Amino acid sequence: MNVRRELRRIGRIAGFGGLTGSMLTGFIAHEALTAPGHRDAVRERWVRAWCGGHLALFGVTVVVDGAAPPVPSGRGRLVVANHRSTADILVLLRAFGGHMVSRADLARWPLVGPAARAVGTLFVERGDAVSGARALRTIRTTLARGATVIVFPEGTTFAEDAVQPFQVGCFVAAVRSGAEILPAGLAYATGSGAAFVNESFPAHLARMAAASPSRAALCIGSPLPYDRAAKPARARDLAHDAVQALVTKARALADA
């Protein structure tokens, strides 16, 4: 047994539980004391702090290339990215804020599930047409009120840099609500073991907790050309190509 790795694992898992539990309690109390019109801003501050705290705890240094322009007045923003790791959620929420679209089983994960529900995560059950339709209506409504929604259009995690085909649903919601579509690409340093594929969340958490400090790269692209009359499938294809180019760029940065 590598004693250093085991101590790192124990310390980070304990820190994960302590940080999530304490910040969730603090957020709920703060939100309850905040006027309804200011609660979104309060949620944003707590979410970004939680994400930054966990990235630091797990030793993940994030290199960011590019910057998101201000969200256009009166429009929402759909952020679309490739999906490789649970750390994607931390990186993207810290960078963009807003609401994450996640698979429904995350709601049942210990500590993470209650925290995700509390901050307005949008859940969708894979392979369930009714759940998918409900999630798309919620995404469209959220975008229509000018909020940011973060989606992984691949639908699940993959281990390699090749961006898998995008599902069209979120692009239907974006086009119909008039939202801006902003592509982003993620990559983790080769050998970091950040990929979350074919393992349970507890196993993934334990493995990441024992890992050495690592490096991630986030490349932010330019918003897709706005066209209210555009076909969602066309927006999907443009976004896929843009994300692939950004992932290639992020790979070079992550391994620099």
Please name every residue paired with 163 in a beta bridge, in sequence order, or none if there are none. Answer: none
Q: What value does the mean pLDDT take over residues 34-50?
A: 92
Q: Tell me the CATH class for 3-254.
A: alpha beta
Q: What value does the mean pLDDT take over residues 74-102?
A: 93
Q: Which backbone phi and psi does 79 adopt, to 5 degrees?
A: -95, 125
Where are the domains positioned within the chain?
A: 3-254
Map residue 164 onto helix, strand or coil.
coil
Share above pLDDT 70 across residues of the chain, in percent, rounded to a whole number: 98
Q: Which backbone phi and psi does 148 adopt, to 5 degrees?
A: -100, 135
Express each pLDDT in 10-28 by its tens digit.
999 999 999 999 999 999 9
Amino acid identity, position 156 = T
Residues 6+ apart with CB under 8 A from 182: 68, 77, 78, 79, 80, 96, 220, 221, 222, 223, 224
Q: Does 1 score more than 60 pLDDT?
A: no
Please name every residue paired with 188 in a beta bridge, in sequence order, or none if there are none. Answer: 216
d(CA 109, CA 122): 15
pTM for the model = 0.92
User: What sign results for the dihedral spanned by CA atoms 150, 32, 57, 6?
Assistant: negative
Question: Rounded to a whole number, what is the distance in angstroms from the first to the last CA of the chain?
Answer: 31
Q: What value does the mean pLDDT take over residues 43-61?
A: 94
